[in-house]
Amino acid sequence: MTLAFPVAMKFAVKTWSNGKARAGQLQLGSCPSPMETPALLLSTRKGLPLFISPDLLPDLPYPDSALLHVSPLHFVETMSPNIISKLGGLNQMLGLHRHAFAAFPRDSVQCLPEFDSSNKLGASFDTPSGRRLIKPVDYMELICSLKPSLWATLADEVPGWVSDHRNKASVDRTVKWLDDCISQSPASGAVFGAIVGGSDKEQRKRCALEVSKRNISGFGFGESMDDRPALLNEVTDHLPGERPRLISGLGLPEEVLQGVAAGIDLFDSSYIYHLTLGGFALTFPLDLLNLAEEFPEKTMGIDQSKINLKATVYRKDTGPIVEGCVCYTCRNHTRAYINHLLNVHEMLAQILLEIHNTHHYLGFFQAIRSAIKEDKFERFCDMFLQKRRDHLTAAVAVGA
Amino acid sequence: ITRKPETSNCAPALSQREFLPAYLHCIPLSPPSASASASAFVLARFNRARAARMTLPHFVCETPLFMPVGTQGVLKRLDVTSSKHSPVDGSPMLLTPEESIQIQNKIGADIIMALDDVVKTTTTGPRIGEAMYRTIRWIDRCIAAHQRPDEQNLFAIVQGGLDPVLRDICVKALTKRNLPGYAIGGLAGGEDKDSFWRVVAQCTAALPEDKPRYVMGVGYPLDIVVCSALGADMYDCVYPTRTARFGSALTPEGVLKLRHKAMAEDTRPVDPTCACMVCRTYSRAYIHSLVTKDAMGSQLLSYHNLYYMLQLSRDLHYSIIQGRFPEFVCDFLKKMFPNGDVPKWVCNAMEVAEIDIGAC
ipTM of the predicted structure? Answer: 0.91
pLDDT at B279: 98
For position A221, what pLDDT does the model report? 73
B88 and A346 within 8 Å at the Cβ level: the answer is no
**Between chain A and chain B, how many beta carbons pairs sit less than 8 Å apart?**
76
Q: Which residues of A touch B283 (CB under 8 A)?
A: 87, 93
- Give A131 or B88, the one with higher predicted confidence: A131
**B314-327 pLDDT, tens digit each:** 999 999 999 999 99
A392 contact partners, CB below 8 Å, separation of at least 6: none
**A2-16, A24-38, A186-200, B213-227: which has the minimum mean pLDDT?**
A2-16
Tens digit of each residue's pLDDT (9 = 90 or more) over A336-370: 999 999 999 999 999 999 999 999 999 999 999 99
pLDDT at site A228: 83
CB nearest to A337's CB, from B1, B265, B288:
B1
Give the gap in angstroms from C-alpha A50 to the nearest C-alpha of chain B.
Answer: 6
- Percent above pLDDT 90 for chain A: 69
- Is A330 annotated in a binding site? The answer is yes
Contact of A343 with chain B, judged by CB distance below 8 Å, is answered with: yes
Residue A137 has pLDDT above 50, yes or no: yes
Q: Do B294 and A50 touch (CB under 8 A)?
A: yes
Residue A328 confidence (pLDDT)? 96
Out of A45, A80, A95, closest to residue B281 by CB: A95
Q: How many CB atoms lie within 10 A of CB A315?
A: 12
Sign of the torsion formed by the C-alpha atoms of A337, A342, A347 and A349: positive
Which backbone phi and psi does A54 adopt, to 5 degrees? -55, -30
CB contact, 8 Å: B3 with chain A? no
Q: In angstroms, rounded to a whole number, what is the distance separating the alpha carbons of residues A83 and A67?
A: 24
**According to the per-residue pLDDT averaged within each range, which of A76-80, A104-108, A326-330 is highest?**
A326-330
| Residue of A177, A352, A185 lying closest to A279 (CA atoms) | A352
Q: Do B295 and A80 touch (CB under 8 A)?
A: no
- Please judge whether B74 and A83 are an interchain contact, meaning their C-beta atoms are less than 8 angstroms apart: no
pTM for the model stands at 0.88
* pLDDT score for A320: 97
With a cut of 50, say whether residue A104 has pLDDT above it: yes
Query: What pLDDT score does B55 carry?
Result: 87
Confidence of residue A187 (pLDDT cuts 50, 70, 90): confident
Q: Write the DSSP assignment of A114-156 as a string of letters.
A: -GGG-BTTBEEEEETTEEEEEPHHHHHHHHHHH--SEEE----
The better pLDDT of the pair A189, B312 is held by B312
Chain A nearest-CA distance from B197, in A, is 34
The CA-atom distances, in angstroms, between B158 and each of A310, B89, B166, B167, B233 are: 40, 30, 10, 7, 15
Q: How far is B88 from chain A (nearest CA, A)?
A: 7
What band does A396 get if pLDDT is binned at 50, 70 and 90?
Answer: low
- Find out whether A110 and A45 touch, Cβ atoms under 8 Å: yes
Residue A393, pLDDT > 90, answer: no
Nearest CA in chain B to A49: B296
Residues of A in contact with B277 (CB under 8 A): 54-55
Average pLDDT of chain A to the nearest whole number: 89
Q: CB distance from B238 to chain A under 8 Å?
A: no
| A107 DSSP assignment | B
Most confident of A98-112, A184-198, B261-275: B261-275
A59-68, A293-302, B318-327, range with the lowest pLDDT: A293-302
- Contact between residue A211 and residue A235 where contact means Cβ atoms under 8 Å apart: no
- Residue B85: is its pLDDT beyond 70? no
pLDDT of residue B165: 96
B1 contacts A79? CB cut-off 8 A:
no
Interchain CB contact of B94 with A (< 8 Å) = no
Residue B7 has a CB neighbour count (10 Å cut-off) of 9
Interface probe for B, chosen from A48, A85, A330 (most Cβ of B below 10 Å), is: A48
Q: Do A340 and B73 touch (CB under 8 A)?
A: yes
Is any Cβ of chain A less than 8 angstroms from the Cβ of B290? yes
Which tens digits make up the pLDDT trace of A212-262?
888 787 777 766 666 788 888 988 999 999 999 999 988 899 999 999 999
State yes or no: A356 annotated in a binding site: yes
Q: Do B283 and A95 touch (CB under 8 A)?
A: no
Report the interhelical angle of B97-107 vs B126-145 (nearest 10°).
50
What percent of chain A has a predicted confidence (pLDDT) above 70?
A: 91
Distance, in Å, from the CA atom of A150 to the CA atom of B85, rounded to the nearest integer, reads 50
Top pLDDT among A277 and B19 is at A277
Rounded distance between C-alpha atoms, residue A41 and residue A266, angstroms: 7
Most confident of B26-40, B69-83, B110-124, B263-277: B263-277
pLDDT score of A103 more than 60: yes
More confident residue, B80 or B91: B91
**Contact (CB<8Å) B74/A78:** no
**Is the pLDDT assigned to residue A10 strictly greater than 60?**
yes
pLDDT at B29 over 70: no
What pLDDT score was predicted for residue A168?
A: 94
Quick one: chain B helix, strand, coil %, rounded to 5?
Answer: 40, 15, 45
pLDDT reading at B120 higher than 80: yes
Q: Distance from CA of residue A161 to its chain's centroid?
A: 23
Q: How many CB atoms lie within 10 A of CB B98?
A: 15
Does A20 touch chain B if contact means CB atoms closer than 8 Å?
A: no
- CA dist., res. B111 & res. B105, Å (int): 10
Across residues B120-141, what is the average pLDDT?
93
List phi, psi (to 5°) of A108.
-60, -15
Could you say which of B1, B73, B295 has the minimum Cβ distance to residue A347?
Answer: B295
CA distances (Å), B29 to each of A49, A262, B40, B212, in order?
A: 48, 74, 6, 10
Q: Determine the distance in angstroms separating the CA of B324 from the nearest CA of chain A, rounded to an integer.
A: 35
Interface residue of A53, A350, A354 to substitute, partner B, most B CBs within 10 Å: A53
A88 near B CB under 8 A: no
Residue B6 has pLDDT above 50, yes or no: no
Chain A residues near residue B300 by CB distance under 8 angstroms: 54
- For chain A, say whether B294 makes contact (Cβ under 8 Å): yes
H/E element, A385 = helix A377-399
Q: Is the pLDDT of residue B341 over 50?
A: yes
Task: Write the pLDDT tens digit of every residue in B152-203.
Answer: 999 999 999 999 999 999 999 999 999 999 999 999 888 999 999 999 999 9
Using the beta-carbon criterion (under 8 Å), do A51 and B296 form an inter-chain contact?
A: yes
Residue A391, pLDDT score: 66
Chain A contact set for B85 (CB, 8 A): none
Burial grade of B2 (CB within 10 A; 0-12, 13-18, 19 or more): exposed
Mean pLDDT of chain B: 85
To the nearest whole angstrom, how far is the Cα of A138 from the nearest Cα of chain B?
A: 19
Phi, psi torsion values for A189, nearest 5 degrees: 110, 130
Considering only CB atoms, which chain B residues are within 8 Å of A90? none
Sorted by sequence, the CB contacts under 8 Å of residue B51 that are 6+ apart come out as: B42, B43, B44, B45, B62, B63, B64, B316, B317, B318, B320, B321
A51 has a chain B CB within 8 A of its CB: yes
